[in-house]
Amino acid sequence: MANVLVVDDEPNILLSLEFLMSHAGLTVTTAPDGETALLRIADASPDLLLLDISLPGISGFEVLEQLRRSESERHLPVIMLTAHGREVEREKGFALGADDYVTKPFSTQQLVEKVKALLAERAP
Amino acid sequence: MRGDWVVIGTAFCYLALLFMVAAWGDRRAEQGRSLIGSPTVYALSIAVYCTAWTFYGSVGRAAQYGPSFLLIYLGPTLAMLLAPFTLRKMVRIAAQQRITSIADFISARYGKSSRLGALVAIMALITITPYIALQLKAITVSHAVLMNYPLGADITLENERFWMDRSFWIAMVLAVFIILFGPRHLDASERHEGMVAAIAVESLVKLIAFLAVGVFVTFIMFAGPGALLAEVAATPALINSMRLENVPGGATGWVGMLLLAFLAFFTLPRQFQVLVVENVDEQHLHRASGLFPLYLLLINLFVIPIALAGLLLVEGDPDSFVLTLPLSAGLEGLPLLVFIGGLSAATGMVIVETIALSTMVSNQLIMPLLLKVKRLYIGRHGRLADWLLNIRRIAILLILLMGYLYHALIGDSYSLVTIGLVSFAGVAQFAPALLIGLYWRGATRQGATLGLLAGFFIWFYTLLLPGFAQSGWLKETLITQGPWEISWLSPYALLGLSGWDIYTHSLFWSMLVNVSLLIGVSLFTRPTPLEQTQAALFTEAMHPNLQTTSLWQGETTEGALHALLIRYLGSMATQRVFASQTAQPVTETDAYQRPASKALITRAEQSLAGSLGSASASVLINSVLRGEALDVESVLTILDTTSQALEYNRQLEQKSQELARVGEELRSANERLRELDRMKDEFVAMVSHELRTPLTSIRSFAEILRDTPDIAADKRQQFLSIMVLESQRLSRLIEEILDLARLESGRLTMKPVAVNLTKLAKQIAMPSSAYMRRTVLGLSFMQRMLPPLSLRTQTALSRSLLTYWKMHENLLTLNTQR
Amino acid sequence: MNPFSAPSRRRERLIALALLALFMFCPPMLLIVDRLPGLLGWLPLYLFVVWGALIGFTAWLVEPPKEP
């Protein structure tokens, strides 16, 4: 069963994402900020990352950058979540190597489909 | 030691030294290595202002009238302060028009009028002769004091024949001396560099001599100024000697004397000579405006100590204190130095004054007369150039003789200062025509002439005539009861105006009439075209673009001009005028045919003006021109357009500067707008972020509830209550944004409530402190140091504060991301 | 012309200094100084001090600036 790490500083959004993912039959790990997220990636080695951009401390972009630089987790699929609907950030996300990009508020169905599609793509 | 021959020998040695300095100065000038090209020399030459009257008379006046002697030097100090405006303009005009004297200046200003020039020259002769007499008297008296001490110096002229009289021989020696190094060139507008160098040396000598006496009296005869003052304080008769009550005429007399000295500084012929005619460089005026007052201050520094010491220690004439004090101490060398200092002061004045006056006599009096005698200037090919120099030499002799006669006949009845002040009041009559003419274009020749005549007459009646009466030439009752016993005509109390000192009284009436007539008559007379041109050239002299444009319109040949110049200036000067002609020398017949260019005519006129005065030069040039001589209309047009163009230029420059400033303002306003726009974008992004966050929760849970019908009841309940809470948060946010809008438009009324500031700050700081620690934009929150603050504000506002903080935090996040 | 340019300012300052000097040398100030208590009167000292200060100011004002 695939493991998804959800990173968001808003507890309510985190709760809803956790419910959505587990309801879709995935194992869910959560992290409220970037630093925790990096720790979780190291010990839980998730199959996919749902990453909010505005996080206290190190931001979502920085987390993504560190991931893409590391040896082991370079190919971890990442979906960026953002409340800023600006083009520049979307472009920056893709440039840094995000696999997909979702603007809040999002359609839950579409998000789940995107997650599933990415997991299937990466599955051997 | 104090033998007659020692004194006379020293004096002659000193004069010989001066002569050598003068000769050296002239030779250096010919080699083009001027000795006098420095502001210090210029300032020293201006110090010819300090005559024997200063050297001996200041102490005398201080002993009699307290601090009033200082006014004679404070007036010029004020005048020099204004030198960069008034004198600079005069210097520039004099250079442009080749002015030779103050009479020439006034004559040139009022349409090169030879009559006005002659009038000023005659007035200058009358006023200055007593002044020259005063110098001769000073030399004679000081010599007598030196020889006869401790006996009195009562020199009774009546008992001796004139060839036994020392002053006569002094006058003759001076005349020979001045003739030898005075008028060497015909061109009087050329500088007498040797003379100026000699004058500068004399100024140094008299200053050193006076300071030496001052130091000797103050520090050797007394043990310093303190000891001297202590002794004065112990003498009841002297306690009030330096107070205002001792000044003649009190406060009114004070102001009158200040004004008198101020005006005379500009109009004394010798001051005009050194200040304007002998000026080498306009820039020297700037430095001199500080240096010359400094000289005056130094030479006056010891006047009061010497006067007080003289009153305490020696008997006799206060005018001789400078000599009698060191003599009473039994010294030999110092009195001789003082005598030389006084001789310096007197000869310096006599040299410059007679040279200035002789130029006036030859150019303003004799020359116009000669030109009237047709035989002389049309007829024979005489060497008029030599003639003119001889006229000046004879004039020098005659002026000195007149000075001697005045001295011999009535000089005894006046003290030094009195004669000086009478002369001051006389030459001050030139001031309105000179100074008003410098700034007011409307002043006309008739106005100036009448003003001068009337002012001069009043001066004569209120100061000179009473002087004659005091000498016993006229009845004393003229002064006490008025002529024919008409008391309101009394010379010292005209129209019953009494209680003023005689100089202020005379200055008041003469200046009132002089200025009123100058202005009044000018307003009702029409100036001739030439007058208008000259008035314009004088008043607009400081315009940078103004050049002496060619005034001449008529035609003549080069030959005619050449002949004219040869006759009046000699071949050397003529060659210089023609030197800049490009064509090679031609035969005389050729030259006679060729028409002279306008530039050549102008140069010829300037050269003639420098030697003969502007009025005569104008007459001479006219005599060889055919046709309309002066194109005055076009000159006036040129002048007016020039000044108009300058004015437009100035306005244009002002406008363009204003434009540049407005442009700069616009640019910065644009910058600010852009910045505001950027901030607005940021703000909108923040607000949308804040709105999206609760909205995301609501939508997610709503969709979850919709898509998951079989959800557990407690979960459903939890999700629904989250949705309610987030909706509330959303509407609160919207309220706050609206509050913000209202706050900005000023429609929000404040209802203050108490808020615990410490708690609020903690709320703000807590969620982000971990993050804050890691960023450069650190926030230190020292809980223990904060007192329990409380602030009354609106609840909504405190919430808004939190919201703002949240937004700000996001902004910080963004900033660090970038 | 720029009203703040050096020569024009110098003119204005010199004129102001001349007016100040006139005021300092004229009766109201003189009467005040003359009536100051003191055995011999303070007038000569006052005049010399003001005079000296005036000369100093003039020298400072008319000195052309070192840097063009």
CATH code of A71's domain: 3.40.50.2300
Burial class (CB in 10 A: 0-12, 13-18, 19+), B247: buried
- Please enumerate in sequence order all residues whose Cβ is within 8 A of that of B355, keeping only pairs 6 or more positions apart, or say none: B178, B182, B183, B192, B195, B273, B396
Closest CA to B53 of B69, B38, B64: B69
Is residue B432 within 8 A of residue B518, CB to CB? The reply is: yes
Distance from CA of A105 to the nearest CA of B (A): 4
CB neighbours of residue B775 within 10 Å: 14
pLDDT-derived band at B292, boundaries 50, 70, 90: very high
| pLDDT of amino acid B575 | 78
Q: What is the pLDDT of residues B394-422, one digit of tens each?
A: 999 999 999 888 888 766 666 555 777 88
Give the best residue of C1, C2, C22, C25 to mutate against chain B (max B CB count within 10 A).
Answer: C25
> How many A×B Cβ pairs under 8 Å?
78
Write out C20-59 in H/E/C secondary structure: HHHHHCCHHHHHHHHCCCCCCCCHHHHHHHHHHHHHHHHH
| pLDDT of amino acid B769 | 45
Residue B634 phi, psi dihedral angles, 5° rounding: -70, -35
pLDDT-derived band at B587, boundaries 50, 70, 90: low
Structural domains in chain B?
A: 4-26+36-413 (1.20.1730.10), 547-630 (no CATH)
Which residue does chain B place closest to A106, by CA atoms? B696
Chains A and C, touching by 3 or more CB pairs within 8 angstroms: no
Q: What is the DSSP letter of A79?
A: E
Least confident of B121-135, B569-583, B686-700: B569-583
| pLDDT of amino acid B782 | 45
What tokens were used for B701? 């849970």
Contacts of B696 in chain A (CB under 8 A): 10, 13, 83, 104-106
In chain A, how many domains are there?
Answer: 1
The alpha carbon of B591 is separated from its chain's Cα centroid by a whole number of angstroms, namely: 47
CB neighbours of residue B73 within 10 Å: 24
| pLDDT of amino acid B398 | 92
Burial class (CB in 10 A: 0-12, 13-18, 19+), B471: middle
| pLDDT of amino acid B778 | 40
In chain C, how many domains are there?
Answer: 1
pLDDT-derived band at C1, boundaries 50, 70, 90: very low
What is the extent of the structural domain holding A84?
3-122
What is the extent of the structural domain holding C43?
6-61
Alpha helices (runs of H) in B524-613, residue ranges in sequence order: 529-539, 558-569, 571-579, 588-593, 598-612
What tokens were used for B56? 């001996």
Chains B and A, touching by 3 or more CB pairs within 8 angstroms: yes
B646-678 per-residue burial string, b: 16 or more CB within 10 A, e: under 16: eeeeeeeeeeeeeeeeeeeeeeeeeeeeeeeee
Provide mean pLDDT across the span B643-665.
81
Residue A7 phi, psi dihedral angles, 5° rounding: -120, 115
Which residue does chain A place closest to B725, by CA atoms? A12
Indicate whether this model's pTM tops 0.90: no
Chains B and C, touching by 3 or more CB pairs within 8 angstroms: yes
Is residue B234 within 8 A of residue B227, CB to CB? The reply is: no
Which is more confidently placed, A87 or B691?
B691
**pLDDT at residue B760 greater than cutoff 70:** no
CB neighbours of residue B156 within 10 Å: 7
**CB-based contact, C48 to chain B, within 8 Å:** yes
Distance CA B121, CA B362 (A): 10
**Per the CB < 8 Å rule, is A84 touching B685?**
yes
Provide mean pLDDT across the span B161-186.
75
Closest CA to B370 of B131, B615, B174, B595: B615
Distance from CA of A89 to the nearest CA of B (A): 10
Distance CA B159, CA B408 (A): 11
Q: What is the pLDDT of residues B92-148, one digit of tens each?
A: 998 888 888 999 999 999 988 889 999 999 999 999 988 888 888 888 888 888 887
Is residue B537 within 8 A of residue B93, CB to CB? The reply is: yes
| pLDDT of amino acid B755 | 63
| Interface list for chain B against chain A, based on CB atoms closer than 8 Å | 685, 688-689, 692-693, 695-701, 703-704, 707-708, 715, 719, 722, 725-726, 767-768, 770-771, 774, 809-810, 813-814, 816-817
- Which one of B689, B708, B816 has the shortest CB-CB distance to A84? B689
Percent of chain B with pLDDT over 70: 79
Least confident of A120-124, B82-86, B161-165: B161-165
**CB-based contact, A72 to chain B, within 8 Å:** no
Q: What is the pLDDT of residues B298-307, one digit of tens each?
A: 999 999 999 9
Helices and strands: H and E segment counts in chain A:
5, 5
**pLDDT at residue B173 greater than cutoff 70:** yes
| pLDDT of amino acid B798 | 53
Which is more confidently placed, B106 or B85?
B106
| pLDDT of amino acid B119 | 94
Distance CA B591, CA B84 (A): 45
Distance CA C35, CA C29 (A): 10
Cis peptide before B39 (omega within 30 of 0): no
**pLDDT at residue B573 greater than cutoff 60:** yes
pLDDT-derived band at B448, boundaries 50, 70, 90: very high
Distance from CA of B733 to the nearest CA of A (A): 16
Low-confidence ranges of chain A (pLDDT < 50): none
**CB-based contact, B229 to chain C, within 8 Å:** yes
Least confident of B387-391, B470-474, B620-624, B635-639: B635-639
pLDDT-derived band at B818, boundaries 50, 70, 90: very low
Least confident of B653-657, B778-782, C63-67: B778-782
| pLDDT of amino acid B298 | 94
C-alpha triplet B535, B539, B542: angle, nearest 5°: 140
Give the best residue of B681, B703, B714 to mutate against chain A (max A CB count within 10 A).
Answer: B703
Q: Which SS3 state, helix, strand or coil, does residue B456 take?
A: helix
Q: Which SS3 state, helix, strand or coil, does residue A3 take?
A: strand
In a domain, C30, yes or no: yes
**pLDDT at residue B388 greater than cutoff 70:** yes
**pLDDT at residue B801 greater than cutoff 60:** no
**pLDDT at residue B566 greater than cutoff 70:** yes
| pLDDT of amino acid B787 | 47
Provide mean pLDDT across the span B497-507.
86
pLDDT-derived band at B776, boundaries 50, 70, 90: very low
Distance CA B507, CA B271 (A): 20
pLDDT-derived band at B186, boundaries 50, 70, 90: low
Q: What is the pLDDT of residues B804-813, one digit of tens each?
A: 555 555 544 4
**pLDDT at residue B239 greater than cutoff 80:** no
In a domain, C68, yes or no: no
What tokens were used for B758? 């410490």
**CB-based contact, C49 to chain B, within 8 Å:** no
What's the start-to-end Cα distance of chain A, in Å?
13
Q: What is the pLDDT of residues B605-652, one digit of tens each?
A: 888 888 778 888 877 787 777 655 555 565 566 666 666 666 777 788
Closest CA to B504 of B158, B251, B213: B251
Distance CA B34, CA A59 (A): 83
Closest CA to A115 of A9, A31, A33, A17: A17
Dihedral angle computed from the Cα positions of residues A10, A16, A22 and A23, in that order, rounded to the nearest 10 degrees: -170
- β-bridge partners, B755: B791
In a domain, C67, yes or no: no
Closest CA to B124 of B110, B142, B104: B104
| pLDDT of amino acid B97 | 84
| pLDDT of amino acid B815 | 46
Q: What is the pLDDT of residues C6-52, one digit of tens each?
A: 556 778 888 899 999 999 888 888 888 888 777 777 888 899 999 99
Closest CA to B491 of B642, B500, B577: B500
pLDDT-derived band at B817, boundaries 50, 70, 90: very low
Distance CA A48, CA B40 (A): 94
In a domain, C49, yes or no: yes
| pLDDT of amino acid B46 | 93
Which is more confidently placed, B725 or B389?
B725
| pLDDT of amino acid B764 | 57
